[in-house]
C-alpha cells in the first residue's frame, strides 16, 4: 500500500483537536449496527497490494466497511473484523500505559489520486515516491491497513520523524501485534523487499494464525506470499 500520512494535510485539524479533552476510551460508532462477523465473511484478509501488485479492480465495490470514530471524534471507515481486533490491541497496550488511536485507515482510489497530487506539490516527487503509493497500489484501499498515532503526555504524535523516535513505545507495541492478527507491514531493515521506508505505525490485519506465521518466521508479506 502506501505510506501513512504522518506529515498530513490534517495536522491543522489535529492541532485544534489537541485543545479538546482526550477521552481515553475510543468512541466507536458503527453506523449500521452491523455484526462484524456477518459482514466480513467474504473478505480476503490476504489480499496482496504493494508497488508492483495492484488491488483487484472490483475489490473496493465488494468491501464491507463500517464507520467508527477515534477518541478525538475523527471518523474513519474500516473493515469490521480489522476494527474489532484493533480495539482489542488498543486495550492491551492501554494496560501498558500506552494510548494509540486510529490515524488513517481506508482510503478510496479516488482519494489516493488527490493525495498524490497534494503531496507532490507540497513535498516534491522524491518524497511521494518514498512514502505515497500510486492509486490502486495502496494497502489503505483494502480497509485492512491501520496507521496509528500516539498520545503521549496529552500530545498527539503523528509526524513521521517524531513517531520513529518513539522507539521505547513501539518496542512494547510491536510484539503484541500478531496476537491480535496484525503484522508490522514495513519493518526496519526490509526496505529493499517491501519498497517502503520503515513505518512503525503501519499495521496490516491478516488474521491471527497468519500473523503469527509471518511474525514468527521473521518474514514480510512479500516473502510470505511468494
Residue 54 Cα to chain centre, angstroms:
18
Measure the CA–CA gap between 92 and 89, rounded to whole angstroms.
5
Q: Based on the residue annotation, tell me whether 223 is a catalytic residue of this protein.
A: no
Cβ count near 170 (within 10 Å): 18
**Residue pair 125/134 in contact by the 8 Å Cβ criterion:** no
* Angular region, 157: left φ>0, alpha ψ -120 to 50, beta rest: beta
Q: Which residue has the cell 494464525?
A: 209
**Residue pair 54/48 in contact by the 8 Å Cβ criterion:** no
Catalytic residue among 162, 199, 222, 223: 199
Measure the CA–CA gap between 216 and 158, rounded to whole angstroms.
28
Measure the CA–CA gap between 50 and 76, rounded to whole angstroms.
22
Alpha helices in the chain (DSSP H): 11-18, 36-39, 59-62, 80-94, 109-123, 125-131, 160-164, 167-173, 191-194, 208-216, 221-224
Which positions are catalytic?
199
Amino acid at each position: 500500500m502506501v505510506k501513512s500520512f504522518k506529515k498530513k494535510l490534517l495536522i491543522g485539524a489535529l492541532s485544534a483537536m489537541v485543545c479538546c479533552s482526550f477521552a481515553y476510551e475510543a468512541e466507536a460508532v458503527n453506523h449500521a449496527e452491523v455484526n462484524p462477523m456477518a459482514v466480513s465473511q467474504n473478505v480476503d484478509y490476504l489480499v496482496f497490494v504493494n508497488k508492483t501488485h495492484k488491488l483487484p479492480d472490483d475489490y473496493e465495490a465488494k468491501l464491507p466497511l463500517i464507520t467508527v470514530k477515534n477518541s478525538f471524534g475523527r471518523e474513519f471507515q474500516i473493515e469490521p473484523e480489522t476494527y474489532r481486533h484493533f480495539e482489542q490491541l488498543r486495550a492491551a497496550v492501554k494496560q501498558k500505559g500506552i494510548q494509540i488511536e486510529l490515524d488513517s485507515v481506508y482510503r478510496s482510489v479516488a482519494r489516493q489520486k488527490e493525495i498524490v497530487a497534494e503531496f507532490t506539490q507540497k513535498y516534491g516527487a522524491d518524497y511521494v515516491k518514498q512514502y505515497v503509493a500510486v492509486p490502486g497500489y495502496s494497502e489503505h484501499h483494502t480497509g485492512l491497513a491501520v496507521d496509528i498515532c500516539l498520545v503521549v503526555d496529552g500530545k498527539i504524535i503523528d509526524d513521521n520523524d517524531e513517531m520513529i523516535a518513539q522507539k521505547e513505545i513501539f518496542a512494547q507495541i510491536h510484539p503484541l501485534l500478531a496476537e491480535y492478527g496484525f503484522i508490522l507491514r514495513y519493518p526496519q531493515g526490509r526496505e529493499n523487499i517491501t519498497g517502503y521506508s520503515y513505518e512503525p505505525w503501519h499495521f496490516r490485519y491478516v488474521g491471527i494464525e497468519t500473523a503469527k506465521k509471518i511474525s514468527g518466521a521473521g518474514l514480510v508479506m512479500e516473502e510470505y506470499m511468494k
